[in-house]
């Protein structure tokens, strides 16, 4: 189930499902730990003796954000109950405080009593063992706690602070379903404390005038001890939760629109998806620098694990998007994080927790009894490549000075050493993490990284190192053309396997990731081989259904839907793969008319996005329903890259300014 309308601040992240139920609460890091373990946090309303939880099909729901900010706007209507709810959600931009404003409107022409209930299935630290929840008479709220993690839950109406009703109890122990059942008669038990596997529910009583409205404010805040959460609660009451929400709305609108970008060449829906992608990507970034792939705990039911990790590849490509959008502090934090986790030899392992520790992995350390590196070399290469893109735009010499000896020279030297006798990279895992060999994507990324490292070396006056890296990149490019290009088929191999006689066995499966050829400057977009290969991608990987879009590769098995008509549906359409065609159209365009061909792929992404703007990893080829995790950081980052590259190329071809922070560097002012 996709996670719609996430809200966060880099320290706390709160996600919702499409029923508008909170499903994940992460703190103190984005992605770690999940204090709900993906369980449902219910929200319901009692009025005139009737009750309905928000997941009931009798509710109509419209889940959106306020324009250009990270405050939600959820409208929910229940004609049986005769009420409408207008809800706004935000995580305070500065403090770990989640706030919900609920405006209840009476649709009937008579006065009525309504009660709004908020349920919490919290497992502190991701485990329900040893939890406690108690009513706190000092704050008139509830406190869930264990070890050094405390959550305080409270609310206020226009009449007074503090919850009107509460219940604490057991969950999933014996026949105990949880305190949410206690709410369905409109009256909570007021049980003051529960221990072990526990949950809680609070309620607010509202008087509704005929055809009138009443509101309440609800908040959940986090801290390391009781004194901290009590103090935060006092801060919320002092500032008022509405003022905290207002300041958060203003902050994120300023953050998302701070750069003077000229959007005139683009349709308004493209501009809106760009700003929304900017904000949604921010929800997935930890303040410690880790850019998390996705925070959608439902994927554990399929894979037994989450996407709540930092993959250096995904992170580097998202960092490039942030660079293009002028978010220098976030890109710097990412590179500092990378500096902390890179191996002393100069390469990255599979993926990392947001804390910087090594994450789970399925890459083995031995293959056929021989020791191997459990890596994807493109991850190492793309961090170096993205760092150069950052420097081209921001020219922050003091920042790069230290990283030069940690994130530039050691990885470049390692990549030069990690080559076979032909000059191609030694085998590693591919970007899809499915097969081991010498992959076209990896080769192109490594060429781009070596050229980036050479440019840094020249800047630092190390001309001998620069020459060595340039020579390595050129040799690798030549080897790629000799050994991976098949002129008889007019396309590249996606993977080459080195045989004992020194030749390669080629896997000619068509793969959309060949966009790396031009994206990382291994070859120009105008090169005939690139043009031929991208034409094949467009022709053979386009999903021939009303949904459309581009599959990863021929006969893609991951979450595979169509198993019969593989010619028409080679795999599920992915956002990133579809937008790679847009990147190619932009890179290859020689006039404004040709450039506009890229818009068809942006229009496809707009059609696939949820009404809130959230984009999944991939989509059902026949229904268009989101599949796998949602939102996916990589999807939103690619939207950002495509839009900025479009605007920059339009400015170049038309002779007009793009108005963007990246304009000077991307149009030649800071080229490597």
- pLDDT averaged per 10 residues, the chain (length 672): 91 97 98 96 97 98 98 98 98 98 98 98 97 98 98 94 97 93 97 98 98 98 98 97 98 96 96 98 98 93 88 98 97 98 98 98 95 97 98 97 97 98 97 97 98 98 98 98 97 95 94 98 98 98 98 96 93 98 98 97 98 98 97 98 98 85 58 36
Query: What whole-number distance in Å separates Cα of residue 601 and Cα of residue 548?
Result: 10
Residue 426 per-residue DSSP state: P
Spell out the residues 6+ positions from residue 55 whose beta carbon is closer than 8 angstroms to its own: 19, 21, 40, 42
DSSP states of 493-511 as a string?
A: -SEEEE-TTS-EEEE---B
The helix-helix angle for 463-483 and 440-459 (nearest 10°) equals 160
3-state class of 93 per DSSP? coil
Measured in Å, how far apart are the chain's first and last C-alpha atoms? 43
3-state class of 283 per DSSP? helix
What domains does the chain contain, in order, with CATH numbers? 4-233 (2.70.98.10), 265-669 (1.50.10.10)
pLDDT of residue 132: 98
Give the tens place of pLDDT for each residue, 401-415: 999 999 999 999 999
Q: Flag whether the pTM goes above 0.95.
A: yes
Contact 570, 540 (CB under 8 A): yes
The helix-helix angle for 575-588 and 599-608 (nearest 10°) equals 160
pLDDT of residue 240: 96
Contact 451, 469 (CB under 8 A): yes
How far from chain centre, in Å, is Cα 397?
Answer: 29
């Amino acid at each position: 189930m996709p996670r719609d309308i996430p809200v966060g601040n880099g320290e706390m992240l709160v996600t919702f499902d499409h029923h508008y139920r909170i499903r994940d609460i992460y703190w103190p890091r984005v992605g770690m730990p999940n204090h709900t373990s993906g369980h449902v946090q219910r929200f319901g309303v009692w009025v005139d003796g009737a009750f309905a939880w928000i997941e009931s099909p009798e509710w109509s729901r419209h889940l959106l954000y306020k324009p250009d900010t990270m405050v939600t706007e959820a409208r929910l209507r229940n004609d049986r109950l005769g009420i409408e709810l207008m809800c706004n959600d935000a995580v305070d931009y500065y403090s770990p405080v989640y706030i919900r404003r609920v405006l209840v409107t009476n649709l009937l022409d008579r006065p009525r009593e309504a009660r709004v209930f908020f349920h919490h299935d919290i497992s502190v630290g991701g485990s329900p063992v040893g939890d406690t929840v108690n009513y706190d008479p000092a704050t008139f709220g509830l406190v869930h706690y264990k070890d050094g993690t405390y959550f305080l839950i409270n609310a206020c109406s226009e009449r007074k602070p503090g919850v009107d009703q509460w219940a604490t109890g057991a969950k999933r122990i014996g026949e105990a379903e949880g305190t949410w059942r206690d709410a369905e008669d409109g009256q909570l038990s007021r049980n003051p404390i529960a221990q072990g596997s526990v949950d809680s529910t609070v309620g607010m009583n509202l008087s509704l005038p005929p055809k009138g409205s009443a509101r309440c404010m609800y908040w959940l805040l986090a801290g390391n001890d009781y004194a901290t959460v009590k103090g935060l609660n006092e801060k919320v009451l002092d500032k008022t939760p509405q003022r905290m929400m207002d300041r958060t709305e203003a902050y994120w609108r300023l953050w998302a629109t701070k750069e003077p970008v000229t959007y005139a060449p683009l349709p308004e829906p493209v501009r809106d998806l760009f700003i929304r992608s900017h904000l949604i990507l921010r929800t997935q970034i930890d303040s410690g620098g880790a850019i998390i792939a996705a925070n959608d705990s439902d994927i554990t039911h399929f894979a037994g694990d989450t996407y709540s990790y930092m993959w250096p590849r995904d992170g580097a490509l998202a960092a490039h998007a942030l660079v293009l959008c002028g978010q220098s502090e976030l890109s710097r934090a990412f590179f500092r994080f990378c500096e902390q986790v890179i191996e002393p030899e100069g390469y990255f392992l599979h993926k990392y927790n947001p804390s910087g520790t090594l994450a789970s992995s399925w890459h083995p350390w031995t293959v056929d009894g021989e020791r191997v590196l459990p890596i994807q070399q493109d991850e190492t290469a793309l961090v170096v490549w993205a760092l150069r893109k950052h420097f081209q735009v921001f020219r922050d010499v003091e920042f790069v000075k230290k990283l030069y000896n940690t994130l530039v020279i050691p990885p470049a030297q390692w990549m030069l050493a990690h080559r076979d006798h032909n000059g191609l990279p030694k085998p590693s895992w591919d970007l899809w993490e499915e097969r081991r060999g010498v992959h076209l994507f990896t080769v192109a990324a490594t060429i781009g990284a070596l050229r980036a490292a050479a440019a840094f070396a020249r800047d630092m006056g190390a001309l001998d190192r620069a020459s060595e890296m340039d020579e390595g990149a050129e040799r690798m490019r030549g080897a790629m053309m000799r050994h991976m290009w098949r002129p008889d088929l007019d396309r590249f191999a996606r993977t080459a396997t080195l045989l004992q006689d020194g030749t390669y066995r080629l896997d000619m499966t068509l793969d959309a990731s060949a966009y790396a050829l031009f994206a990382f400057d291994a070859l120009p977009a105008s090169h005939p081989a690139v043009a031929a290969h991208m034409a094949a991608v467009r022709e053979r990987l386009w999903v021939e259904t009303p949904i459309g879009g581009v599959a990863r590769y021929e006969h893609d098995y991951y979450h595979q839907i169509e198993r019969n008509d593989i010619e028409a549906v080679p795999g599920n359409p992915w956002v990133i793969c579809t937008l790679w065609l847009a990147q190619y159209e932009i890179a290859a365009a020689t006039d404004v008319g040709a450039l506009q061909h890229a818009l068809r792929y942006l229009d496809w992404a707009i059609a696939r996005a949820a009404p809130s703007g959230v984009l999944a990893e991939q989509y059902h080829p026949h229904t268009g329903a989101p599949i796998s995790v949602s939102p996916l950081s990589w999807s939103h980052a690619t939207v950002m890259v495509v839009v900025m590259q479009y605007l920059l190329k339009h400015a170049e071809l038309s002779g007009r300014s793009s108005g963007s922070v990246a304009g000077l560097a991307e149009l030649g002012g800071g080229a490597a």
